Amino acid sequence: MADHNLLNSLPQEIILNILSRLPAQSVLDCRQVCRSWGNLLQFHRQYVADSETMSFLGFDSRAQALRYLEYNDDKQPNYCVKIIKFKFPASVCGGLVGSDNGLICLSVKTKYNANPVFGNKYKVDTPDEPLYICNPITREFVNLPPLLIDEKKSVDGVHVVHGFGYHPLTNKYKVVRIFYVGNGKSPSFKGQVEVYTVGSGSGWRSAGETNYSLGSDYFANPTGVCVNGTLHWLSDKFRDIVAFDLVYEKFHLLRTTTAWKRCPRRIFVARHCLCLEYIYGNSLDYLLLKKNKEEEDSSCYHMNEQRYYISWSWIEEVTMPSNVVSRIRSSICSITKMGELLLTDGRKVDPCEKVVLEFIGKRFDFDWKIPLSHINTFVSLEALGETTVQRLDS
C-alpha cells in the first residue's frame, strides 16, 4: 500500500513514463488498479515512446488476425513479431483502410457490384467499404453504418474509395468514403464524399462532391494515405496526388515536381513522411515529402493548406539500383534511418552496398496486402464519445 501511495504521489508525466515501459498487457492490467490510473491511461495517447522503433500492422484475412511488427536498427534482435487474433461480427475481407495514432479502420465487401468503368476486362472486384474502427491494444471497436444506395441508382455498379486519419490540432479521427454511382462515362459523373467523425454522434455526413477520379486504374489503391492530418491518393493515371484536408474537408492537388511523373507506382508512409515510389529508367527511386529548412522551427501542421504545401518539398531519399530491383519480388514497407529498405518478404536492401539482407526470415505480406505504419496508444473510443463500443473476443 505504501509503494502504491508513493507512486501516486509522483507527477503524472513520470507515472506515464514508467507505465509506458511495461508490456501492453501489463499496462492494461494497471488500468484496473484504481480509478486515477484508469483515467490516466484512458486519455494517454502515446504508448511507445521510443522514436527510433518503427512499427507496422499487417492484416491476414485468412486467419482474421493482425500481424504486428517492430523494427529498430539499434536493438538486437532488431525485430519483434506478434499475432493479434480477434473476432468481428463480420469477416474483414477488405483489410486495413488505415492506421493513425493508435486506432485502425478495417473494411468489408459491400453488397453492390463494382462499376465496370473502374475495373478492367479481366476482373472487376466487389468494392470494399470502411466498417470498423478498432484499437488493437484496448480491443475496443465500433461498427460504422454501412453504405446504403438505392437499387435503381446502383444498377450500373458502385466504386468506393476510402481513407482514415487523425489530425493532432483538432484531436479528431475521421473516416472518409467516396462512392461513385451511375454511368461512369457521363459528363456529370462525380464522387459523393461522406465523412464520419469518431465520437461526434452525427454518423456519416455529406462533405460535397468531387470531380477527381480516384482509384479508377485497376492497380490503383483505393485507400488514402494519411500524413500530417491530410489524406492522399494517387489520381487517375497516376499523374498527380490528390489531397483531402481533414480540418477543412476540402480537396486540392499536392504540389509536385515534373521528374517523377514518368512512372510513379504508389505512395505510403515512411519515417513519418509521405513517400513516393516511382520508376526511373530501370531503377526505383523514393522521395520523401519533408519540411524546408527555413520552416523547421515552425509547427508541422498548418491550418492554411497553401502555406503547408509551400513549406514542404520532395527530397530524393533512396535509389534502388536496377541490379538490385531485378533480385526482389516484393514491396517496400519503409525506409530505416540507415537508408535501408524494409521488404514485405522479410528482407532488407542496402542500396549503397547493393546487397539484399535477411532481417526477419519470414514473409510479412498477407494476401498481397502491404503492412501499414502503426503506433500503439491507449486511446479509448468511449472517451472519444462513441456510445456503441464493443470489445473484441480473442
Q: What is the tens place of the pLDDT at every residue in 170-192?
A: 999 999 999 988 776 776 778 99
Is-contact 263 278, C-beta < 8 A? yes
Where in the chain are the domains? 1-44, 45-391
226: buried, middle or exposed (CB in 10 Å: 19+, 13-18, 0-12)?
A: buried
Residue 245 has pLDDT above 70, yes or no: yes
pLDDT digits (tens, 9 = 90+) for 187-211: 677 899 999 999 999 999 999 999 8
Residues 347, 334: Cα–Cα separation, whole Å? 12
- The DSSP symbol for 271 reads T
**Backbone phi, then psi, for 2, in 5-degree steps?**
-60, -40
Cell, residue 191 = 464522387
Residue 108 pLDDT: 85
Name the pLDDT band for 387 (thresholds 50, 70, 90): very high
Give the pLDDT of residue 205.
96
Amino acid at 267: I
What three-state secondary structure class fits 360? coil
Asked if pLDDT for residue 292 goes beyond 60, the answer is: yes
pLDDT category of residue 142 using cuts at 50, 70 and 90? very high
Cell of 328: 526482389
Q: Under a CB-based contact definition with an 8 Å cutoff, are residues 230 and 241 in contact?
A: no
Residue 114 per-residue DSSP state: B
Residue 15 backbone dihedrals phi, psi, to 5 degrees:
-60, -45
pLDDT at 164: 97
Q: What's the topology of domain 1-44?
A: Monooxygenase (1.20.1280)
Between 218 and 346, the more confident residue is: 346
Which set of grid coordinates corresponds to residue 116? 465496370
Which strands form 128-135's sheet, in the order they lie side by side? Answer: 95-100, 103-109, 128-135, 140-143, 390-391
Choose between 30 and 101: higher pLDDT. Answer: 101
CA distance 98 to 104: 6
Cα–Cα distance measured from residue 90 to residue 358, given in angstroms and rounded to the nearest whole number: 37
- Residue bearing cell 468514403: 177
Pick the closest to residue 109 from 137, 84, 81, 90 (CA basis): 90
C-beta of residue 147 within 8 angstroms of C-beta of residue 176: no
**Cβ(262)–Cβ(278) under 8 Å?**
yes
Q: Which residue has the higher pLDDT, 233 or 282?
A: 233
120 to 167, 222, 358: CA distances (angstroms): 36, 15, 37
The answer to whether 277 and 265 are in contact (CB under 8 A) is yes
Q: Please state the rounded mean pLDDT for residues 332-347.
A: 82
Average pLDDT of the segment spanning 126-136: 85
